[in-house]
Amino acid sequence: MKVYHVSSYADMCRKAANIISAQILLHPNSNLGLATGSTPIGIYERLVEAYDLGDLDFSGVTTFNLDEYCGLSENDPQSYHYYMNEHLFSKVNIDRANAHVPKGNTGDADLECKRYETLITAGGGIDLQLLGIGNNGHIGFNEPSTVFEKDTHCVSLDEGTILANARFFDNPSDVPRQAITMGIGTIMQAKKILLVANGKTEILNKSLYGPITPNIPASILQLHPDLTVIWSDK
Ligand code: GLP
């Protein structure tokens, strides 16, 4: 595990974007695993900047997002589809057919989970997975549990997660109670993992240096052979 402790959010974003850029430059046909939340926003801004400068080409890149809320349409401004379009997909030359986000409103979540897991496997797996971390140590939407769920699955969100994500909604009662998320196995199979955290010192320390337990899902990352962590405490 490589841990970079940086001095600001801006530094964190630049370093993370540099790592993702290097992946794309060295392997233009990379499969990237992408994350949402407030933390990666500055990373996507740096990537868009690099694209605008002509330094990055997304035409060969395929992306798989970690998760999506259940019940929201792709055009709903609170959906992760919308977020990804806003922050990245509409701003670079990625082939939209290769920019994948689980669909939260198909009416058959279990089938969608299977479809998504198969899509990732058939695509050759993820080369570099970007991750944020929730206040309770969740990654994607893998909430604390008694087991590590392996594959893409449907989850009920914790009260704390609903509260934390309520800031993105007009009304806290609008936050969906369920989501589709890549499983812990799906994430751990990525060849490289890049975990970014802005603050969240206590949960990050527990995750990286405490016991490995499904009660802190991110703790499993200690077992990943190629984990880079970029952490800003300011
Ligand atoms: C959501 C996402 C996670 C993300 C987490 C933290 O729950 N599903 O992938 O890591 O939020 O978000 P933030 O970066 O806004 O703190």
Could you report the per-residue pLDDT of 88-104, keeping only the tens digit for each? 999 999 999 999 999 99
Please report how many Cα atoms fall inside a 13 Å half-sphere around the Cα of residue 229, on the Cβ side. 24
Q: Tell me the Cα Rg of the chain.
A: 16
The answer to whether the CB of 35 is under 6 A from ligand 1 is: yes
Instruction: Give me the pLDDT at residue 230, please.
Output: 98
Edge-to-edge strand list for the sheet holding 153-156:
67-69, 178-181, 153-156
Q: What is the mean pLDDT of the chain?
A: 97
- Rounded to an integer, the average pLDDT of 174-198 is 97
Ligand 1 pocket member 38 (CB < 6 A): yes
pLDDT of residue 152: 98
What number is the average pLDDT over the span 98-112? 97
pLDDT value at 172 more than 90: no
- Find out whether the beta carbon of 152 lies less than 6 Å from any atom of ligand 1: no
| % of residues, the chain, pLDDT over 70 | 100
42: pLDDT strictly greater than 80: yes
Quick: pLDDT tens for 6-32.
Answer: 999 999 999 999 999 999 999 999 999
Cα distance between residue 63 and residue 52, in whole Å? 19
Distance 231 CA to ligand 1 centre (A): 15
List the residue whose alpha carbon is closest to atom 12 of ligand 1: 37
Q: Write out the DSSP string of 191-223.
A: SEEEEEEES-HHHHHHHHHS--BTTBGGGGGGG
pLDDT of 129 strictly over 80: yes
As a whole-number percent, the residues of the chain with pLDDT over 90 amount to 97
Measured in Å, residue 213 CA sits from the centre of ligand 1 at 20
**Helix, strand, coil tally for the chain in percent (to 5):** 40, 20, 40
Distance CA 130, CA 205 (A): 18
